[in-house]
A and B are shown apart, each in its own frame.
Chain A
Amino acid sequence: MSETRTTTTSAVRSLLLGLSPQQRQSTDSIYTEVFGRSVDTEQELLRIQNQIGAALSQDEIEKLRIELVGARGHANTARRKIASITALEDKKAIGPVLNGIFQEIESSLVQRKRELEESQLNRSLNDERVDVTLPARPESQGKLHPISQTIDEIVAIFGAMDFKVAEGPDIEDDFHNFTALNIPPEHPARQMMDTFYLAEKPDGSRPVLRTHTSPVQVRTMMSQKPPIRIIVPGRTYRSDSDMTHTPMFHQVEGLVIDKTTHMGHLKGCLADFCRAFFEVPDVPVRFRPSFFPFVEPGAEMDIGCSRKGGELKIGAGDDWLEILGCGMVHPKVLRYCNLDPAEYQGFAFGMGIERVAMLKYGIPDLRTFYEADLRWLKHYGFTGLEAPSLVRGLVAQ
């Protein structure tokens, strides 16, 4: 409520003071007629304003507005009275005074109305208060499996080197999985990978679950003309299950075939890959001779690491970590794929996806990849928005 006034505003007062005593009397008499009782104009104005100021609801205000300045209210009654004043000079003097008074009343009404609105809003804001410390509505957060993320990272890096992604079936035949890769039936290399076989077919052949992604090399060379640059991420299978082996795992195969690619390119390509993948710009890499039936010369690549204090750290260190097998595609493999080794050559490599994911992300146990344990997925997974890209960075920080 606004405070009670004791004097009228100076504007009205100066208007009243400007009246002759007779005019003042006329004014009072007009009021006396309007209100039906004897009043002093100034005192009456003061009373009305205080009455407005004491109003406690919009309804009261509205009632006062109608009574005082509504179409049939006092203001208009007063105006009619003024119209009946015959003395022009008096009319001129009294009219503005009355108008001033009613303007004064109107603005008091508007002000009080605003005051009431304001306090009402404040009251309801207070009533609407909630405990903002209550938890928000839950939204479940899904995560991408580290294998998917790692494959996407690998694709992003090799993609920048103009490799395309190729695919092939998980259920392979002997030719694509072994023979064309220079692995004859009695070859000791077939023992290196314990193969899952499916039921024997009527023609005596036995489909296998591919033991590596290398059959896609064969399929690509047989269906596509060089130059070829592909990578093949995918599921692979070996009949092995212990602490460090699972019957299914993922590999990424790489193949480059053209007329000039040599071991220098193999080294450059894979060293660049490691630096980008592990996000360690100066990670040392080492190539050493090794053997895979489908390459010649063959190599294995190690990256530098340190194992100080039992903690494996990738980068400069005093130790080496085997990362992948690679080499120049064996002339016999080219021949099996109907490519002339006198004309074409290139390199191939194969890398375990779980292995590099474990190394990069510090995942200790291979078997946990396949347990679909929510706690693990939440901890090691990636949000859907963290799509790896060489432009934006492989992994969101």
Chain B
Amino acid sequence: MKFTFSWLKEHLRTDAPAKDVAHALTMLGLEVEGMADRGKGLEPFVVARVIEAKQHPNADRLRVCRVDTGSGEVQVVCGAPNARTGMKGVFAPAGSYIPGTKVDLKKGVIRGVESNGMLVSEREMGLSDEHEGIIDLPADAPVGASYAKYAGFDDPVFEVKLTPNRADCLGIAGIARDLAAAGIGTVITPAVATLPGRFKSPLDLQLQLPAGQENACPLFLGRYIRGVKNGPSPDWLKRKLEAVGLRPISALVDITNYVTLDRDRPLHVFDADKVAKGIRVRFGRAGEKLLALNGKTYALTDSMTVIADEAKALGLGGIIGGEETGCTESTTNVFVEAALFDPKRTALTGRALSIDSDARHRFERGVDPEFTAPGIELATKLVMELCGGEPSEVVIAGRVPDWRRTIHLRQSRIMALGGIDVPAARAGAILTSLGFKAVPKGDGFDVDPPSWRADIEGEADLVEEVVRVEGYDHIEAVPMPAPAVTPEPVLTPAQRRVGLVKRLLAERGIMEAVTWSFMSRAHSQKFGGGQPALALANPISADLDQMRPSILPNLLQAAQRNADRGSPDLALFEVGPVYAGDRPQDQSMHATVVRRGNNAPRHWDAKPRPVDAFDAKADAMAVLSLCGVPLGNLQVEAKPPAWYHPGRAGVLRLGPNVLASFGELHPRVLKALDVEGPAVGCEVNLTLLPLPKAKASRARPLLKASPFQPVVRDFAFVVDDTIAAEQLVRAARGADKALIAEVGVFDRFSGGALAPGKKSIAIAVTLQPTEATLSEAEIEAVAAKVVAQVAKATGGVLRG
């Protein structure tokens, strides 16, 4: 909502400077987003008179002018075709900055003749693109006066960001009312006089809405004005509209815009000669179309309120008028419309057709139902003043819907809710100044909101009215009462885990990324997603049209983008949501890592190697370990999801739950994502991880550190290629659960002297005695058990 200070002052008598008004508006909840000073940079420009303009002696197209600047006479060489003796224009002295050409004006000699300044065009002043000639001012323009002041540019333009509830402030009169309530001046909005009609309107008015849906347009007022002469508006009106960014069109159109801005009362003016018989308000018909004033054609439906005549649709009620019945230069008889339209229907129609008009903006927020009749009177007055003509009697269809209601405000609620004690007298005065009727009753007031405040629904709204006018500034800030008991943890164990996992992965040298929760359907399908239920109905783009089933594709693509920028070796992680369905329980939290390229940069001491499944497995295990998953109980299975390399990936299972997957990505999937390998990744489903058990005590079991030296024995077994290392390790570990503390794999090879289809796995078995140092015989006995167990479980034989 834009308005000039002088326009505001037509509704508000105040001595407050613009800055104070702006501050008061913001603190009332009418946030001033900007205040434009259109006179800025135009200070040097003054109104001047050309005393004499004569031909330049050395140039056909130039004239030498003697100019009266009000503070002396100067000589100016001017190239404008319209420079002539006696005219008034705008003069810039040498030394001025010319905004349109972005140069500092210097004294000069042009073809041998001295020039001490410039007579300027609108373009040179930066006002418009007009450059046909220099500005030609009316004869009564005062010589020597500041041009900015003369043109009204010294009048600041306020731009207020209105919240949707304050429909009443979509008119300048409403803004003045709020300011007056806050003590910034007195409301002086002129009353609207009723003009008697001189004849009966030849056009009639019928509301043809189905029963039960009359609220689509409960009230419609019209007035025929005959014998008008349309043309350009007078300067005062043009300037007002231009100052707030509207283009003046013609007096009849400008009047409707003026009343809309001044009083928040949208109007429409039909060329009455183009209307057949009368105005009908009805719903749209199948196949019906409207060519609107914006030049676009719209298909109408039976849920849209249509203004029509006997033959055709003339406009969309509360939204936009039709081109065919619009006013032109030749319009002589008009029919002025002031009506009420249902906010909901207006909003839905406007949204369906994507029409943003000033009328829709106001009707969908709700206009003052009681200002319908005054609106048509104000319009009539202006039409008669600017275009002449003779008004008919006002034609009325429908009636003003009932808006009256009483809300009780308990005085104590102002403090209890608003946190500020506003005395009853003051509260009553505030409400009254805003146009409410506040009658003391019982423990507070019975309050009747005014017709223009449809947003006031209950006691809390009244508290806001009182407190906002009193000033939120005056509410005393109170610290939050401290917790009464020893604070409980802020985070649940699951939430805490998410934070720890992020910090763990960062400390493992991995960068955290945050990527979209959606991705392309094609990519999501490659990762087990793509369900129709998770498709976005209105995606922002085709590659972001499906909720993600996995974070891997996003990270893989991010890794590739970084590779393309010259960082081929990198690791990224994201801890975030993935979606298996549209129910809350279908969302889970995944910790996902992608590593690409080599495991390390090149270094003088070590040769980097490509990342592999075991890097990814290490990441997954680190996350699981941090989350307290008993790693010893995990089962590793070489059955990865389809998007992994079938032979170089696996899953980590705890009981029936697959907690994590890891490994090399499938080359076909990488190709589909346009990602170059090597690339590995892991995904840990944090939501599935068991939560730590609630324990009665934080005490840990007693540490039993054996005083006896542990013994390490190495074994190398030859097994079939199909035997998983894990099987062999488990067998060895099971050989003597009391003595064997650890089994590690330290070597693995195939080929060489080994038979085809065989491989060698070497393990180191750590024996930890607890009773006494082991004798050689005891060690041998355990070793024999290990060999036997491994042979039994895997068919492995000790390599000779």
Residues of chain A at the chain B interface (Cβ within 8 Å): 134-135, 137-145, 147-148, 152, 155, 158-159, 161-165, 167-171, 186-189, 191-192, 196-201, 206-207, 209, 229, 235, 237, 239-241, 247-248, 256, 260, 262-269, 271-272, 286-291, 296-300, 328, 330-331, 345, 369-375, 377-378, 381-385, 387
Contacts and interface: CB of A to CB of B under 8 A. Distances in A.
Interface in B424-477: 458-461, 463-464, 467-468, 472-473, 475-477
Nearest to B366: A188
B505 A142 contact: yes
Interface in B536-583: 536-541, 544, 547, 554-555, 558, 561-562, 565, 567, 570-573, 576-577, 579, 582-583
B475 A170 contact: no
Contact of A196 (B419, B495, B538, B584): B538
A180 B516 CA distance: 27
A28 B533 CA distance: 115
A280 to B, nearest CB: 16
A291 B475 CA distance: 18
B511 A378 contact: yes
Contacts of B31: 288, 290, 300
A224 to B, nearest CB: 13
Contacts of A189: 164
Contacts of A170: 517, 577, 579, 587
A267 B587 contact: no
Interface stretch (B114-122, B485-493, B671-679, B754-762): B485-493
A41 B723 CA distance: 80
A373 B562 contact: yes
Which of A248, A262, A271 has most B Cβ within 10 Å? A262
Contacts of A162: 480, 482-483, 487
B605 interface: yes
A247 B540 contact: yes
Interface of B: 26-29, 31, 163-166, 343-345, 347-348, 351, 364-365, 415-420, 458-461, 463-464, 467-468, 472-473, 475-483, 487-488, 490-492, 495, 499, 502-518, 532-541, 544, 547, 554-555, 558, 561-562, 565, 567, 570-573, 576-577, 579, 582-584, 586-587, 600-601, 603-606
B499 A289 contact: no
A384 B536 contact: no
Given A162-B487, A207-B582, A289-B468, A138 B420 contact: no
16 contacts: A134-B604, A138-B603, A142-B509, A142-B510, A145-B512, A162-B480, A162-B482, A164-B488, A188-B347, A196-B538, A196-B539, A207-B582, A237-B517, A263-B419, A264-B478, A269-B480
A153 to B, nearest CB: 12
Nearest to A330: B460
Nearest to B563: A374
Contact of B490 (A165, A260, A263, A328): A165
Nearest to B559: A372
Contact of B458 (A148, A152, A197, A331): A331
Nearest to B570: A374
Contacts of B541: 241
Given A186-B343, A262-B417, A148 B163 contact: no
Given A170-B517, A286-B473, A289-B472, A262 B512 contact: no
A28 B417 CA distance: 120
Given A143-B512, A272-B480, A291-B163, A384 B562 contact: no
A288 B472 contact: yes
B584 A168 contact: yes
B516 A291 contact: no
A159 B492 CA distance: 12
Contacts of B502: 144, 148, 384
A248 B479 CA distance: 33
Contacts of B468: 289, 297
Nearest to B365: A188
A90 to B, nearest CB: 59
Given A165-B490, A268-B479, A374 B562 contact: yes
A201 B533 contact: yes
Given A197-B538, A267-B478, A371-B561, 4 more contacts: A135-B604, A373-B561, A377-B513, A383-B507
B521 to A, nearest CB: 12
Given A196-B538, A297-B417, A165 B577 contact: no
Given A196-B538, A296-B460, A137 B603 contact: yes
A199 B532 contact: yes
A374 B467 contact: no
Contacts of A331: 458-460
Contacts of A198: 533-537, 547, 582
A287 B475 contact: yes
Given A144-B512, A369-B514, A169 B29 contact: no
A385 B502 CA distance: 10
Contact of B165 (A209, A247, A291, A384): A291
A165 B491 contact: yes
Contacts of B26: 288
Nearest to B488: A164
Given A171-B582, A198-B537, A140 B600 contact: yes
Contacts of B534: 198-199
A380 B344 CA distance: 46
Contact of A272 (B461, B479, B512): B479
Nearest to A302: B26
A289 B464 contact: yes
B420 A264 contact: yes
Contacts of A200: 537
A369 B558 CA distance: 12
Nearest to A194: B538
Contact of A263 (B364, B420, B562): B420
A288 B473 CA distance: 8
B29 A291 contact: yes
Contacts of A206: 537
Given A143-B512, A291-B165, A171 B417 contact: no
A130 B412 CA distance: 83
Which of B31, B163, B477, B487 has most A Cβ within 10 Å? B477
Contacts of A196: 536-540
Contacts of B539: 196, 239
A369 B516 CA distance: 10
A271 to B, nearest CB: 5
A19 to B, nearest CB: 59
A169 B499 CA distance: 18
A137 B567 CA distance: 18
Contacts of A201: 533, 582
B605 A297 contact: no
Contacts of B479: 265, 268-269, 272
Nearest to B536: A196
Contact of B584 (A171, A269, A378): A171
A299 B477 CA distance: 14
A167 B491 CA distance: 11
B480 A345 contact: no
Contacts of A197: 536-538
Contacts of A141: 509
Contacts of B344: 186
B124 to A, nearest CB: 28
Contacts of A191: 347, 351
Contacts of A148: 499, 502, 512, 514
A199 B582 CA distance: 10
Contacts of A382: 506
A298 B31 CA distance: 13
Given A137-B603, A137-B605, A144-B506, A296 B535 contact: no
B514 A159 contact: no
A200 B533 CA distance: 8
